[in-house]
Amino acid sequence: MICDAPSLADRLQSFRSNTMSNVSALPIQPDITPSGGGSVRDRVSPQEWEVRVKLAAAYRLAALKRWTDHIYTHFSARVP
């Protein structure tokens, strides 16, 4: 049976295109320096920093998609 449904790759590409076109609409907040001084990036491993960046991106995507209530308000990450 032949199916005309878009492939997963096509749907993912469409999702990325739609999402990235709206990212610039998000408000940019000023940098906040921790009270201890210095950057968090300077105090964590490169692996942890990468996980933190990806986790922050997940939260920004959730805000963009307005997933800000109930089950969509929590993301977790594990540092390798």
HSE at residue 58, side-chain half, CA atoms within 13 A, is 12
Q: What's the mean per-residue pLDDT of the chain?
A: 78
Q: Which two tokens stand for residue 67?
A: 């997933």
Instruction: Tell me the whole-structure pTM to 2 decimals.
Output: 0.51
pLDDT digits (tens, 9 = 90+) for 27-39: 666 666 656 667 8
